């Protein structure tokens, strides 16, 4: 058999499990064979693992309007270096992504760049103002994959209910930043022993739980109550972004057991950092929702393991160095992480805690794809060749100055990680090859 790329001696692991070693022949955008063949390009993958490309359901790529922080070129280059073949971009840009024209323009530009595939999320409400619903059907036709007012919280419960009803009828997931604004107050870090000691305004984890409880009741109203409009989504309808608390997880677990179509994601920082890191008083750790306690981290780890948490979303949120060097009250919220997310979680979860590798891969691949109605990418003959080759043995420290992202700082700077991606392919095309950068 003749193909374009032959990946020799790769260990295959996808969300279904480990499948031994194979010579993977790729052509016409697909996996032609798992037993070798001839190809014009041959990659020796000895000691490396081949997995489906990662899918990020939550990244801030800052275009249009905030290109000084990040743009599609730098953001999608960062994504492929992180092993991502697909990225959902958040709509809290300038202007807000709330029209079919902007969605189309973003998709076209991303396609020209030829890095990771871009799936824009659009605003749930026009201008993200929380009042008038955006044009879900037109947005869907233009290529939007979810609706969200992320960056803001949906204060008006009625608008969220209508948004769920309307978006669902066009097959769109509604994704929410769940934090009660009143309880959150002006909090800049987790409210708890550390915030009390440091004298920084706290944002209680119960602000998240309280809002999740409200949103679950809204979902129940839309699914089972008099708000039901014959919707049978068959997959998640309401998605809770960047879950950070044990209590929030408990509420979601109960709701899922009760059959509500709800899903959630967790970010790499909420799995590896706690509010103790704020002891340094360094705004690099300032993120919304804030870093919580070790007990929350443990709970999230369990939720990720048992499937109560559907997937990993990076919430990659780059800012300029100058902004991040403001003080704790004024620095913006957000951590850039898309380039380190996989090696970080591979090292910390699989390497140090024995988290099962196929499960972690599932949360990076099938999990997010399932939420958004994309079919899974599996390592089978005929399967889509959107893949990542990564090195479980290659150890190196996080060096932010080498990031493709414009945000060249990281809370994990200096952490020695394993599992760095070395090749990323989208539909059979190499979109990242490690050597080009090192």
Partner 1 sequence: MSQSATPAFPKHLLDFRDWNRTQVESLLETAQMMQEVLSRPVKKVPALTGFTVATVFFEPSTRTRLSFELAARRISADVVSFASATSSTTKGETYKDTLRTLDQMGIDAYILRVDAAGVCHQAYAWLQKPIINAGDGWRAHPTQALLDAFTLREKLGSLEGKKVAIVGDILHSRVARSNAELLPMLGASVVACGPATLLPGSLPGASLTTDLRAALAEADAVMVLRLQKERMDKGLLPSLPEYVAGYQITEERLQWAAPRAPLLHPGPMNRDVELEGTLADSPRSLVERQVANGQAVRMAVLYHLLVGKKG
Residues lying near partner 1 in the complex (CB under 8 A) are found at: 191-193, 196-201, 280-283, 322, 325-330
No. of H helices and E strands in the chain? Answer: 15, 18
3-class SS of residue 223: helix
Q: Is the Cβ–Cβ distance between 189 and 200 less than 8 Å? A: yes
Stretch that binds Zn ion, among 49-57, 169-177, 256-264, 333-341 (CB under 5 A): 169-177
Partner whose binding site includes residue 177, from Zn ion, partner 1, none (CB under 5 to 8 Å by kind): Zn ion
150 binds Zn ion (CB under 5 A): yes
228 cis-preceded (ω within 30 degrees of 0): no
| Nearest distance in Å: CB 407, partner 1 | 17
What residue 205 binds from Zn ion, partner 1, none (CB within 5 to 8 A, per partner kind)? none
Q: Which of 122, 121, 184, 129 has its CA nearest to residue 159? A: 129
DSSP 251-277: HHHHHHHTT--EEEEE-HHHHH--GGG
Is residue 365 within 8 Å of residue 237, measured between CB atoms?
no
Using the minimum distance from each CB to Zn ion, give the nearer residue, 313 or 383: 313
Pick one of partner 1, Zn ion, none as the site partner of residue 330 (Cβ within 5 to 8 A by kind): partner 1
Residue (241 or 274) nearer to Zn ion, CB: 241
Please identify, using beta-carbon distances, which residue of 177 and 324 lies nearer to Zn ion.
Answer: 177
Tokens describing residue 301: 């780890």
Distance separating alpha carbons of residues 383 and 389, to the nearest angstrom = 16
In the bound complex, what is the minimum distance in angstroms from residue 64's beta carbon to partner 1? Answer: 23
Question: 38 or 196, CB closer to partner 1?
Answer: 196
- Other C-beta atoms within 10 Å of 408: how many? 16
Q: Which is nearer to partner 1, 38 or 327 (CB)?
A: 327
**Which DSSP letter does residue 332 get?**
P
- In the complex, the smallest distance separating the C-beta of residue 281 from partner 1, rounded to whole angstroms, is 3
Distance in Å, CB of 113 to partner 1, minimum: 33
Q: Does 177 bind Zn ion (CB under 5 A)?
A: yes
> Which entry of partner 1, Zn ion, none binds 149, CB below 5 to 8 A by partner kind?
none
Binding residues with Zn ion: total (CB under 5 A): 2
Nearest to partner 1 of 129, 325 (CB atom): 325
150 binds, among partner 1, Zn ion, none (CB under 5 to 8 A by kind): Zn ion
Asked if the peptide bond before residue 416 counts as cis, ω within 30 degrees of 0, the response is no
In angstroms, give the least distance from the CB of 278 to partner 1: 9
The one catalytic residue among 71, 150, 275, 315: 315
Look up tokens 């947005």; give the residue. 139
CB of 191 to partner 1, least distance (A): 8
Burial class (CB in 10 A: 0-12, 13-18, 19+), 343: buried
- Please name which of 3, 4, 51, 144 lies closest in space to residue 376, comparing C-alpha atoms: 51
Residue 231 site contact among Zn ion, partner 1, none (CB < 5 to 8 Å, cut-off depends on kind): none
Give the one entry of partner 1, Zn ion, none that residue 235 binds, where binding means its C-beta sits below a cut-off of 5 to 8 angstroms depending on kind.
Answer: none
Is there a catalytic annotation at residue 296?
no
DSSP state letters, 46-109: TT-EEEEPEEEEEE---TTT-TTT--HHHHHHHHHHTTEEEEEEPS-SSS-S-SHHHHHHHHHH
Which one, 177 or 246, has the nearer CB to Zn ion? 177
Place of tokens 């032959």: 6
Per-residue interface string for the shown chain with Zn ion, residues 106-145, x marking contact by CB under 5 A: ----------------------------------------
CA–CA distance, 200 with 193 (Å, rounded to integer) = 11
Q: Say whether residue 86 binds Zn ion (CB under 5 A).
A: no
For residue 132, the minimal CB distance to partner 1 (Å) is 30
Which residues would be at the binding site for Zn ion (CB under 5 A)? 150, 177
List the catalytic residues.
Answer: 315
């Amino acid at each position: 058999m003749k193909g374009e790329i032959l990946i020799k001696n790769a260990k295959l692991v996808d969300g279904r499990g480990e499948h031994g070693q194979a010579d993977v022949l790729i052509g016409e955008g697909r996996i032609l064979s798992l037993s070798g063949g001839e190809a014009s390009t041959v990659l020796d993958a000895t000691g490396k693992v081949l997995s489906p490309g990662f899918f990020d359901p939550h990244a801030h790529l800052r275009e249009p309007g905030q290109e000084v922080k990040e743009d599609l070129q730098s953001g999608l280059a960062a994504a492929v270096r992180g092993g991502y073949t697909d990225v959902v971009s958040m709509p809290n840009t300038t202007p807000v992504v709330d029209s079919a024209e902007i969605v189309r323009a973003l998709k076209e530009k991303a396609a020209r760049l030829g890095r990771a595939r871009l799936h824009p999320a659009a605003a749930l409400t026009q201008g993200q103002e929380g009042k008038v619903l955006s044009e879900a059907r037109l947005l869907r036709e233009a290529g939007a994959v979810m609706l969200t007012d992320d960056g803001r919280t949906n204060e008006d419960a009625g608008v969220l209910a209508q948004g769920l009803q309307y978006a669902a009828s066009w097959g769109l997931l509604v994704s929410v930043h769940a934090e009660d604004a009143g309880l959150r107050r002006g909090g800049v870090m987790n409210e708890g022993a550390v915030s009390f000691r440091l004298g920084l305004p706290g944002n209680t984890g119960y602000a998240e739980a309280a809002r999740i409880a409200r949103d679950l009741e809204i979902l129940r109203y839309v699914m089972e109550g008099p708000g039901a409009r014959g919707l049978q989504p068959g997959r998640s309808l309401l998605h809770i972004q960047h879950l950070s608390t044990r209590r929030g997880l408990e509420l979601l677990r109960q709701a899922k057991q009760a059959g509500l179509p709800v899903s959630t994601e967790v970010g790499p920082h909420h799995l590896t950092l706690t509010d103790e890191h704020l002891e340094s008083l360094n705004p690099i750790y300032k993120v919304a929702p804030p870093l919580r306690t070790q007990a929350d981290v443990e709970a999230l780890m369990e939720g990720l393991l048992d499937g109560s948490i559907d997937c990993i979303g990076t919430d990659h949120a780059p800012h300029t160095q100058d902004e991040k060097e403001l003080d704790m009250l004024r620095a913006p919220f957000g951590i850039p992480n898309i380039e380190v997310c996989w090696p970080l979680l591979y090292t910390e979860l699989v390497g140090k805690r024995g988290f099962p590798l196929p499960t972690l891969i599932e949360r990076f691949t099938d999990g997010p794809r399932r939420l958004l109605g994309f079919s899974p990418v599996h390592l089978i003959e005929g399967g889509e060749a959107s893949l990542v080759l990564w090195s479980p043995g290659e150890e190196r420290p996080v060096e932010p100055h080498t990031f493709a992202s414009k945000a060249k700082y990281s809370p994990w700077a200096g952490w020695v990680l394993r599992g760095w991606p070395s090749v990323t392919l989208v539909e059979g095309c190499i979109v990242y090859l490690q050597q080009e950068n090192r």
